[in-house]
Amino acid sequence: MSIEIRTPTYDEWPDVCHLDGRAFGSSYTDEEIEQSRPLHDLGRFRVAFDNATMVAVAGSYALEVALPGGASVPMGGVTWVATAATNRRRGLMSQVVAAVHDDIDERGEPVASLYASEGGIYERIGYGIATRQRTTVLDRRLTRLRPEYVTPPNTVRYLAGDDVVPTLSALWERFRRLRAGEIDRSPALQDSLVDQRSKPLGSQCPAAYLVHADGFAVYRVEPNWNNGHPAHTMHLVEIAAITPEAHIALWQTLLSVDLVGEIRSRAIAVDDPLPFLLENQRALRTVELNDGVWVNVRDAAISFGARTYRCTDRLVVEVDARRWAIEGGPDGATCKAVRSRPDLVASHSALSALLYGGVLPSALVAGRRMTARDANVLRRADLFFPIDLAPHCQTFY
């Protein structure tokens, strides 16, 4: 029997949710299904039917992503990729994702990206790892800020009520352009995040919001009274510091929350300067390092022409039998199709991994994802593509 792939109707949204829930080992209540419906543009989703049964789904969100240099370009945030266990090994995932890619291309969005539930799936369809996500544990009992970095009091306050969404939205829009890989947040998304965080999460309390004139932090506390020796766990949900002063002030406040033993997080970038601000750097441990965002460059000319580069140069990259001359520097760049000899020959996933500037070309060459014309070209590429701040993304989609 042939498989039909098409856009789902809004009446089929509950079926999409149930398929997704089964695939990811969760479930949706009727209330959650209705609450999530307005947050999803089903015109951006594709589903596969085997006879009258929905057996696979994929979709995307209309997002904007920051590139090196602060420019922001449209991006399709690929999501809800799921296949029924009864219909595996038939290529359905590739088919529905390809249909979503076609939709992203038709909308003129030069980048697609996603978070991968499994690490061995997406490279074969052109995705490369562009950011890293680390899990950290900071033992608050073992350290404090170095005294020379302590900031004046009253620069950070708690935020609650109707001020939360507009305040965080304004600060986030300022912050997100500082790190390649960060995405925009629509009013609907920010409302949804605040609503989700207003409820307990397992044994964790509802979120608390700390705000500075140039940043904010969001955390939950998981109580542990420990037989009269309190050792609560703080879960740092996100931190957005626009200036070094805001970064220090927010951390000073986080470290001052009473009864906390450990601060756990998946929000701290791999190059965050926090260890250098502490009296005991070892108190902050990275306990896990995983892939973060996977990127698939859909339009090389727009994507690589919109970012900046660390030094001025011109390199020709061949990918998918096409050659692109990327010429630019710290002030901007162009990317044009050419016929000249390539300096680098890359797989599509390797080209995509280069976009945010967090992966060295030499690492891709060593990993057999790219070749370089000679050693000098590779040295130039290692100077050209990387950026000062590691790419990072704190918004899961």
* Residue 1: predicted pLDDT: 56
Domain 299-384: give its CATH code: 3.30.1050.10
- Looking at the chain, the domain(s) classified CATH 3.30.1050.10 span 299-384
Strand 46-50 and strand 53-66: the pairing is: antiparallel
Count CB neighbours of 154 within 10 A. Answer: 7
**Which amino acid is present at 135?**
T
For the chain, count helices (H), then strands (E): 11, 19
* Residue 90: predicted pLDDT: 87
Pair 128, 319: CB distance under 8 Å: no
How far lies 237's CA from each of 163, 175, 210, 218, in Å? 19, 16, 12, 5
* Residue 371: predicted pLDDT: 98
CATH 3.40.50.150 fits 3-109, yes or no: no
- Looking at the chain, the domain(s) classified CATH 3.40.630.30 span 3-109, 133-290
For the chain, the 3-state helix, strand and coil shares in percent, each to the nearest 5, are 35, 30, 35
**Which amino acid is present at 64?**
E
What is the third-level CATH fold of 133-290?
Aminopeptidase (3.40.630)
Q: What is the pLDDT along the chain (397 residues), one digit of tens a residue?
A: 589 999 999 999 999 999 999 999 999 999 999 989 888 999 999 999 999 899 999 999 999 999 999 999 999 999 999 999 998 888 899 999 999 999 999 999 999 999 999 999 999 999 999 999 999 999 999 999 999 999 998 999 999 999 999 999 999 999 999 999 999 998 889 999 999 999 999 999 999 999 999 999 999 999 999 999 999 999 999 999 999 999 999 999 999 999 999 999 999 999 999 999 999 999 999 999 999 999 999 999 999 999 999 999 999 999 999 999 999 999 999 999 999 999 999 999 999 999 999 999 999 999 999 999 999 999 999 999 999 999 999 999 9
Count CB neighbours of 21 within 10 A. Answer: 15
How far lies 73's CA from each of 67, 68, 309, 316, 397, in Å? 8, 11, 16, 22, 17
